[in-house]
């Protein structure tokens, strides 16, 4: 919220801008087998805050959107102690694999670009189809 406020102080006087917050698919679903209510609820809060700010600032030219990654192969997920969980993530993702961090770049660039000039208040879930289940 504080970052959004700081960005808005610069963008609102210019009557244009794009804020892109990062949440997680876990803000829209409950991950089977994982006990992480604190994580899920914080990501849901980021999504809802972003939608609320999108509506508050839309008439002043500022867009606010969210990118919500699915299971992503980051250093945290490359640790040996999570190897079995990674197999489950891959098995349960319709595309049969985890995302790479680089696969979050394109969706984020889209939301920052003129190509998305009429897009505000969305949660762009980049998850290989996981939340479709």
pLDDT in tens, 22-35: 999 999 999 988 99
Alpha carbon distance 13, 109 (integer Å): 23
Q: Is 71 a catalytic residue?
A: no
Q: Is there a contact between 121 and 51 (Cβ–Cβ < 8 Å)?
A: yes
Model confidence at 4: pLDDT above 90:
yes
Token pair recorded at residue 84? 């079995």
Residue with tokens 């949440």: 23
Alpha carbon distance 53, 60 (integer Å): 11
Helix (H) or strand (E) holding 44: helix 37-57
Catalytic residue among 31, 39, 86, 88: 39
Residues 6 or more apart whose Cβ sits within 8 Å of residue 125: 25, 28, 68, 70, 131
Q: Give residue-wise pLDDT tens across range 77-116.
A: 999 999 999 999 999 999 999 999 999 999 999 999 999 9
Structure letter (DSSP) for residue 99: B
Selection from 73, 61, 76, 72 nearest residue 15 by Cα: 61
Give the domains, in start order, of the chain with CATH numbers: 2-132 (3.40.50.720)
């Amino acid at each position: 919220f504080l970052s959004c406020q700081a960005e808005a102080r610069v963008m609102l006087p210019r009557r244009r801008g794009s804020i892109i917050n990062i949440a997680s698919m876990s803000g829209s679903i409950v991950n089977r087998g994982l006990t992480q209510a604190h994580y899920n609820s914080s990501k849901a809060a980021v999504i809802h805050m972003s939608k609320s700010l999108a509506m508050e600032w839309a008439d002043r030219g500022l867009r606010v959107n969210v990118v919500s990654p699915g299971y992503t192969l980051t250093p945290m997920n490359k640790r040996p102690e999570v190897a079995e969980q990674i197999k489950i993530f891959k098995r349960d993702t319709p595309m049969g694999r985890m995302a790479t961090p680089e696969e979050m770049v394109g969706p984020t660039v889209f939301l920052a670009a003129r190509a998305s000039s009429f897009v505000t208040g969305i949660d762009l879930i980049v998850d290989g189809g996981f939340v479709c289940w």
